[in-house]
Amino acid sequence: MFSLYCYFVQARIEQVQSDCAFPSDVIQTSNTHDGISHANDTGVAARLVPRALDPIIRDWILVKNSYKSRFVGQNEVKQWDLTKGTTDYATAQFYGCTIVVLLGSKGLGIAHALEGTRNEACSLETADMVEQKIMPLLDDISQESVIKKGGDGFAFIMGSTERINPGVKYLIGQVECDGYEVDYRFYIGGSKTPMGDYSEDFRGKLMVRVRKPDDIGKRVGYEIYQQSNKAIRLSFNTATGRMA
């Protein structure tokens, strides 16, 4: 009886091991791809990303899972000084929220403002809503840490409200007063994608890639991937702070 019991236990262990085996279409996110080198994420903390995904979506997932300090969640704001080399930054998925990306020759900041609760209007509906929901986040980004004095900054804003809306006009005016050229992009809000993070769908995903040279006076390059694998490209002269 005991030997029969051991037989069934061994068979169950083998079945569990088989069920837990990783499929061949999965890779560890510590891999290098598209010439972008990331620090390895090893051991039990290693994340797995389907190989077949678009490289930009894979990099977005990598930042979300393994580089939390460079990932901006809902109702969060973060800023960073530029580091040498190539670095990716990303936001949590958005389906009606307002995303503000501030770029310059010294650093960058990203704010992710919630669209509002069911009982509230969109954060971009009125100037008062912008003051309550968005400006407190932007106030946490130090202008001196992003652009040089007298330099030209660039602001990329995504919102689910048309540009003609009073709240949108107010936000653009406030950001322009801080020394940024503004590019506002309207997008249609919606529900989460069926497959979530691992979907090939680009909706709700934004990533900023920064390429900083070693030498002062060279151009620092920005690539903004907003719900697409096609980049919006910008560059700044690190010595003058001017857009190149």
| Average pLDDT for 165-173 | 96
pTM: 0.77
Judged against a pLDDT cut of 50, whether residue 29 lies above it is answered with: no
Structure tokens at 42: 């090893």
Q: Report pLDDT digits (tens) over 97-115.
A: 999 999 999 999 999 998 7
| Lowest model confidence (mean pLDDT) among 121-125, 160-164, 186-190, 191-195 | 191-195
Q: How far is CA 147 from CA 86, 135, 178, in A?
A: 19, 18, 10
The residue among 8 and 206 whose pLDDT is bigger is 206
Higher-confidence position of 51 and 65: 65
How many angstroms separate the CA atoms of 204 and 185, rounded?
A: 13
b/e burial code for range 171-182 (CB count within 10 A of at least 16 → b): bbebbeeebbeb
Q: What is the overall mean pLDDT for the chain?
A: 78
pLDDT score, position 40: 36
- Nearest-5° Cα angle at 222, 221 to 228: 140
Q: Of 241 and 39, which is predicted with more confidence?
A: 241
Structure tokens at 215: 């030498």
For residues 226 and 97, give the distance between their C-alpha atoms in angstroms, rounded to a whole number: 13
Report how far Cα 139 is from the mean position of its chain's Cα atoms: 20
What does the pLDDT read at residue 43?
A: 35
Least confident of 65-69, 127-131, 150-154, 182-186: 150-154
Nearest alpha carbon to residue 222 among 93, 34, 88, 99: 88
Confidence bin at 1 (pLDDT 50/70/90): low
Question: Locate tokens 């993070």: which residue?
Answer: 197
At residue 132, the pLDDT reads: 92
Domains observed in the chain: 71-237 (3.30.1330)
Strand blocks (E) in the chain: 26-28, 48-50, 71-72, 76-81, 85-91, 98-103, 107-113, 153-159, 180-186, 206-212, 219-226, 232-237
The dihedrals phi and psi of 2, each to the nearest 5 degrees, come to: -60, -40
Closest CA to 59 of 162, 182, 218, 197: 197
